[in-house]
Amino acid sequence: MKRSTTLFAVAAASLLGAALVHASVSVGKPAPEFKVKDTSGKEQTLSAYKGKFVVLEWTNPGCPFVQKHYETSNMQATQKAAEDKGAVWLTVSSSAPDQGDYRKPSELAEWLKQKGASPTATLMDDDGKLGHAYGARTTPHMYVIDPNGTLVYAGAIDSKATARKEDVKGATNYVKAALDEAMAGKPVTKATSEPYGCSIKY
Partner 1 sequence: MYRPRALSQLICLALLGLIGQPHDVAAGNVVQTEQVRAELVAHAPEGVAPGRTLWLGLRLEHIPHWHTYWKNAGDSGLPTTMNWTLPAGAVAGDIDWPAPRKLPIGPLLNFGYEGVVLLPVPLTISSRIDGAALHVKLDADWLVCKIECIPQSGTFELGIPVDQPTVAHAIQFAQALAARPEDVRGAESTARVADDALHFEVRGLPAAVRGTQAEVFPEISGVVDNPAPVRQQWDGETWTASWPLSAQRSASPDALPLVLRFDDGRNLRVVAKLGSSWPGAEAAGTATAPPSPGDAAALSQPGFLTALLFALLGGVILNLMPCVFPVLSLKILAVTQHAGDARQRWTGALAYTAGVVLSFLALAGLLIAARAGGEQLGWGFQLQAPGTVVALAALFTLIGLNLAGVFEFGSMLPSGIASLRARDPTLDSFLTGVLAAAVASPCTAPFMGAALGAALTWPTAQSLTVFAALGLGVAAPYLLVCAVPALGRWLPRPGAWMQTFRVALAFPMFATVIWLAWVLGHQVGVDGAAALLMALLVLALAAWWWTQRPAEGAKRHLSTGVILLLVAGTFLWAKPLWQPGAPDTRVGAHVGGLWQPWSPQRVTELRAAGQKVFVDFTAAWCVTCQYNKRTTLANDRVLAAFEANKVALLRADWTSRDAIIAAELARLGRSGVPVYVFYDGANAPRLLSELPSVEEVRAAVSSNRN
**Interface positions with partner 1 (CB under 8 A):** 1-2, 4-6, 8-9, 11-13, 15-17, 19-30, 62-65, 67, 99-101, 132, 135, 137-138, 146, 148, 150, 152, 154-155, 161-164, 182, 185-187, 189-202
Distance CA 160, CA 72 (A): 14
Distance CA 125, CA 182 (A): 27
- Helix or strand run (H / E) with residue 123: strand 121-124
Q: Please, which residue, 2 or 42, has the CB nearer to partner 1?
A: 2
One-letter amino acid at 146 equals: D
For residues 176 and 144, is the Cβ–Cβ distance under 8 A? Answer: no
Q: Please, which residue, 59 or 138, has the CB nearer to partner 1?
A: 138
Distance CA 184, CA 186 (A): 5
Q: Please, which residue, 106 or 162, has the CB nearer to partner 1?
A: 162
Q: Kindly report the backbone phi and psi dihedral angles of residue 112, in degrees, each rounded to the nearest multiple of 5, phi listed first.
A: -65, -40
- Helix or strand run (H / E) with residue 178: helix 174-183
Beta carbon of residue 80, minimum distance to partner 1 (angstroms, whole number)? 26
Q: Please, which residue, 86 or 163, has the CB nearer to partner 1?
A: 163
The bridge status of strand 138-139 relative to strand 198-199 is antiparallel
Residues sharing a CB contact under 8 Å with residue 16, sequence separation 6 or more, in sequence order:
none
Q: Please, which residue, 170 or 187, has the CB nearer to partner 1?
A: 187
